């Protein structure tokens, strides 16, 4: 039962062959560890959902505190808890009838592990995979691999050789040159780039003199990192032709528009769900639609990268 | 644009002001925090034990002058560390979070197990204020695992028109011998109540839920899951399509019906694996 009204046509988004009813997506790491919750997010109006990152082996992640609030954002070090990709296929299979694309985020401690996790995810029914090359707080994976353009290339090449679904790559802002990481990703055959993951950060309690997160270091998200994300997307858009999915501090439709003007074809929502609840997907879509109509655009595609043309 | 601020979520460091042993395994810790002191029955807070862990706990009592209490059973490393803390030791608190028990009707049945009595104790206080009568059943394995024995006995003496309290122990060492759920079923088969409230081990809650369905009486229960963020984004505490931290911790009978086997039988553990309860 497809809806063919004007809003649907204007907001319809395609990323590497994946058709989304709108450009809002659930960001990885948020609510994405169970089929029932991913379905709830889909029912709330997201255009696509990305699961929490899953690796080959089960892990409990870090002890609490794993998430604390700081000025203008959240600081987290959850530590990639996951049931292992083989068990996680139960959740993926439960979502086989999902009306929007299910993207499974995977990580590994070697290029081969990324490939194996991606393959199992796709075999179970993932419509695409997003490679977590950017988690800033787990040793031996994420940004430790993703900060090196050569490693980024290697991981993508091996994954692309193992799966026949689109491969998205989530990049880290914890680097001096995110454009080089993006170029490496595109040249290795990545189908889209997600930018950005959290910014490596820390908070210390002045009463107990202790870093608050159990892992001491964590990743900063929320409004605090939004201008960093916009700059990263702008830089990436200049050097690659593949679609960019913007992420980092998006809370309102104005934020979404700003990300798209910088070059994002879609946007991921995460921390702001803590503020706005799951209705955030619909409210961003409503605002975005009204903006596009008022400005005379016929498709959301028309504003992607517009800030570069002036 | 409003400020980037999640309600009650900023971490506050407070000092423990009082430590009261409730039984050999359970202590009530009191501290000063205005936000916690304004909590409603059923709401919970996250308590940071510096260097050890951060855990969700129900508020068990609020007092004048901004004081609040949590009642803690030693079940693991974190609760053991918390219960070995002394007066003036620092803990971190954020919250209160979540919804609350809704008080309505004229007469309620309250069924609690162990430290599940914590939010129910606050609920009883609220019911007294709103002039709702209550029959309270607290179940424990044995006499020295009963929580709030003194408080509940005093309350039922002081408000004998409003509150009736029963204790059940599995070994018969105090009160009625047997399970709280058996007594609950007996009472429900003979008397009419507007609502049943429950908190405790989930097996007990599921049994109370089944009894409530059988006798067609309304019900609310406070549920518990492994928790991380407490603000509705990490997905650790999901039950079906609900987040315990944000949509709960108090759930209605209709919501529990919807949970199916996720009530009392299956949960997600800290790795995100589906495991038997």
Assembly ipTM:
0.93
Nearest chain B alpha carbon to A41: B241
Looking at beta carbons, which residues of chain A come within 8 Å of B236?
Answer: 33, 81
Looking at beta carbons, which residues of chain B come within 8 Å of A214?
Answer: 53-54
| pLDDT at residue A122 greater than cutoff 80 | yes
Q: Residue A290: how many CB atoms within 10 A of its CB?
A: 12
Q: Do B11 and A205 touch (CB under 8 A)?
A: yes
Q: What is the pLDDT of residue A3?
A: 52
Q: Do B13 and A223 touch (CB under 8 A)?
A: no
| pLDDT at residue A7 greater than cutoff 90 | no
Tens of pLDDT, residues A65-93 = 999 999 999 999 999 999 999 999 999 99
Looking at beta carbons, which residues of chain A come within 8 Å of B94?
Answer: 68-69
CA distance B41 to chain A (A): 22
pLDDT in tens, chain B (277 residues): 567 889 999 999 999 999 999 999 999 999 999 999 999 999 999 999 999 999 999 999 999 999 999 999 999 999 999 999 999 999 999 999 999 999 999 999 999 998 999 999 999 999 999 999 999 999 999 999 999 999 999 999 999 999 999 999 999 999 999 999 999 999 999 999 999 999 999 999 999 999 999 999 999 999 999 999 999 999 999 999 999 999 999 999 999 999 999 999 999 999 999 999 8
- The three-state secondary structure class of A4 is coil
- The three-state secondary structure class of A40 is helix
Check whether domain B12-97 has CATH 2.40.30.10, yes or no? yes
Cα–Cα nearest to B229, from B31, B71, B95: B95
CATH class of the B101-222 domain in this structure = alpha beta
Q: Give the CATH number of the domain where residue A174 resides.
A: 3.20.20.70
Instruction: Residue window 43-102, chain A: list those with CB within 8 Å of chain B.
Output: 52, 58-61, 63-69, 71-73, 76, 78, 81-84, 87-88, 90
Q: What is the pLDDT of residue B2?
A: 61
Question: Per the domain annotation, does A94 fall within a domain?
Answer: yes
Active site residue A285: no
- Please state the pTM of the whole predicted model: 0.95
Q: Do A212 and B11 touch (CB under 8 A)?
A: yes
Q: What are phi and psi of A122, to 5 degrees?
A: -70, -40
Average pLDDT estimate for A207-222: 96
Tens of pLDDT, residues B210-247 = 999 999 999 999 999 999 999 999 999 999 999 999 99
Nearest chain A alpha carbon to B3: A72
Question: Per the domain annotation, does A141 fall within a domain?
Answer: yes
A161 touches chain B (CB under 8 A): no
Residue A287 belongs to what domain range? 6-308
Of the candidates B1, B90, B234, the beta carbon closest to that of A67 is on B234
CA separation for the pair A112, B266 (Å, rounded): 33
Do the beta carbons of residue B64 and residue B38 sit within 8 Å? no
Give A310's pLDDT tier (boundaries 50, 70, 90).
low
Q: Do B243 and A37 touch (CB under 8 A)?
A: yes
Q: What is the pLDDT of residue B4?
A: 85
Give A5's pLDDT tier (boundaries 50, 70, 90).
confident
| pLDDT at residue A4 greater than cutoff 60 | no
Give the 3-state secondary structure of chain B: CCCCCCCCCCCEEEEEEEEEEEECCEEEEEEECHHHHCCCCCCEEEEEECCCEEEEEEEEEEECCCEEEEEEECCCHHHHHHHCCCCCCEEEEEEEECCCCCCCCCEEEEEEEHHHHHHHHHHHHHHHHCCCEEEEEEEECCHHHCCCHHHHHHHHHHCCCCEEEEEEECCCCCCEECCHHHHHHHHHHHCCCCEEEEECCHHHHHHHHHHHHHCCCEEEEECCCCCCCCCCCCCCCEECCEEHHHHCCEEEHHHHHHHHHHCCCEEECCCCCEEEC
Q: Do B241 and A36 touch (CB under 8 A)?
A: yes
CA separation for the pair B141, B153 (Å, rounded): 18
Q: Do A30 and B233 touch (CB under 8 A)?
A: yes
- The three-state secondary structure class of A213 is coil
DSSP H/E element including A221: strand A218-221
Q: What is the pLDDT of residue B239?
A: 95
Query: And the tokens for A119?
Result: 């393959």
Give A8's pLDDT tier (boundaries 50, 70, 90).
confident
Looking at beta carbons, which residues of chain B come within 8 Å of A275?
Answer: 4-6
Average pLDDT, chain A: 96
CA separation for the pair A114, A131 (Å, rounded): 7
Nearest chain B alpha carbon to A205: B13
Question: Per the domain annotation, does A1 fall within a domain?
Answer: no
Cα–Cα nearest to B245, from B228, B264, B257: B228
In chain B, where the domains are located: 12-97, 101-222, 224-277
Instruction: Residue window 210-249, chain A: list those with CB within 8 Å of chain B.
Output: 210, 212, 214, 222-224
Cα–Cα nearest to B273, from A50, A58, A116: A58
For chain A, how many structural domains are there in total?
1
Nearest chain B alpha carbon to A216: B51
Q: What is the pLDDT of residue A1?
A: 41
Tens of pLDDT, residues A132-173 = 999 999 999 999 999 999 999 999 999 999 999 999 999 999
CA separation for the pair A86, B214 (Å, rounded): 40
Catalytic residue among A135, A232, A247, A285: A135
Do the beta carbons of residue A42 and residue A27 sit within 8 Å? no
| pLDDT at residue A268 greater than cutoff 80 | yes
| pLDDT at residue A27 greater than cutoff 80 | yes
Q: Do A64 and B50 touch (CB under 8 A)?
A: no
Question: Per the domain annotation, does A186 fall within a domain?
Answer: yes
Do the beta carbons of residue A61 and residue A54 sit within 8 Å? no
Cα–Cα nearest to A168, from A114, A218, A99: A114
Do the beta carbons of residue A105 and residue A49 sit within 8 Å? no
Query: And the tokens for A269?
Result: 């929502």
Q: Counting one residue from A and one from B, how many pairs have CB atoms under 8 Å apart?
A: 122
CA distance A167 to chain B (A): 24
Looking at beta carbons, which residues of chain B come within 8 Å of A59?
Answer: 271
- The three-state secondary structure class of A114 is helix
Sequence-separated (6 or more) residues with CB below 8 Å from residue B265: B206, B276, B277
């Amino acid at each position: 039962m497809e809806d063919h009204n004007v809003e649907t046509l204007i907001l319809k988004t395609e990323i590497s062959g994946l058709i989304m009813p709108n450009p809002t997506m659930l960001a990885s790491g948020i609510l994405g560890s169970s089929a029932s919750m991913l379905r709830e997010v889909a029912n709330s109006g997201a255009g696509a959902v990305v699961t929490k990152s899953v690796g080959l082996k089960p892990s409990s992640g870090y002890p609490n505190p794993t998430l604390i609030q700081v000025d203008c954002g959240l600081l987290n070090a959850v530590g990639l808890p996951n049931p292992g990709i083989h068990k996680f296929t139960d959740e993926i299979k439960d979502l086989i009838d999902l009306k929007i694309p299910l993207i499974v985020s995977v990580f590994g401690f070697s290029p081969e592990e990324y490939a194996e996790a991606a393959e199992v995810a796709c075999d179970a029914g993932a419509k695409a995979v997003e490679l977590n090359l950017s988690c800033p707080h787990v040793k031996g994976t994420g940004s430790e691999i993703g900060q090196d353009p050569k490693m980024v290339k290697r991981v993508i090449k091996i994954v692309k050789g193992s799966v026949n679904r689109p491969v998205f790559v989530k990049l880290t802002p914890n680097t001096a040159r995110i454009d080089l990481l993006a170029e490496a990703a595109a040249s290795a055959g990545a189908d889209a780039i997600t930018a950005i993951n959290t910014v490596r950060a820390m908070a210390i309690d002045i009463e107990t003199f202790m870093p608050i997160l159990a892992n001491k270091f964590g990743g900063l998200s929320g409004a605090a990192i939004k201008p960093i994300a916009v700059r990263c997307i702008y830089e990436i858009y200049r050097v690659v032709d593949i679609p960019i999915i913007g992420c980092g501090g998006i809370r309102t439709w104005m934020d979404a528009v700003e990300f798209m003007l910088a070059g994002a074809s879609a946007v991921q929502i995460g921390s702001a769900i803590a503020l706005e609840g799951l209705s955030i997907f619909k409210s961003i879509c409503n605002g975005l639609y009204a903006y596009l109509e008022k400005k005379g655009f016929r498709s959301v595609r028309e504003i992607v990268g517009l800030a570069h043309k002036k | 644009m409003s400020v980037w601020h999640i309600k009650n979520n900023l971490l506050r460091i407070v000092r423990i002001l009082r430590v009261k042993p409730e039984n050999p395994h359970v202590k009530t810790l009191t501290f000063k925090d205005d936000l916690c002191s304004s909590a409603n029955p059923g709401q919970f807070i996250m308590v940071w034990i510096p260097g050890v862990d951060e855990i969700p706990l129900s508020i068990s009592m609020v007092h004048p002058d901004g004081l609040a209490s949590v009642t803690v059973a030693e079940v693991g490393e974190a609760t053991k560390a918390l219960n070995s803390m002394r007066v003036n030791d620092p803990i971190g608190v954020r919250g209160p979070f979540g919804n609350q028990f809704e008080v309505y009707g004229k007469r309620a049945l309250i069924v609690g197990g162990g430290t599940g009595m914590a939010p129910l104790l606050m609920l009883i206080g609220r019911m007294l204020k709103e002039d709702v009568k209550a029959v309270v059943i607290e179940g424990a394995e044995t006499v020295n695992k009963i929580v709030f024995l003194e408080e509940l006995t005093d309350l039922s003496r002081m408000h004998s028109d409003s509150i009736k309290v029963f204790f059940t122990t599995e070994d018969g060492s105090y009160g009625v011998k047997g399970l709280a759920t058996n007594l609950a079923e007996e009472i429900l088969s003979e008397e009419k109540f507007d609502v049943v409230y429950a908190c405790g081990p989930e097996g007990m809650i599921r049994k109370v839920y089944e009894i409530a369905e059988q006798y067609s009486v309304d019900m609310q229960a406070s549920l518990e899951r492994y928790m991380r963020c407490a603000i509705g984004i990490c997905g650790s505490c999901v039950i079906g399509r609900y987040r315990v931290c944000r949509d709960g911790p108090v759930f209605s009978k209709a919501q529990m019906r919807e949970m199916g086997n996720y009530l009392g039988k299956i949960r997600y553990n800290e790795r995100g694996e589906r495991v038997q309860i």
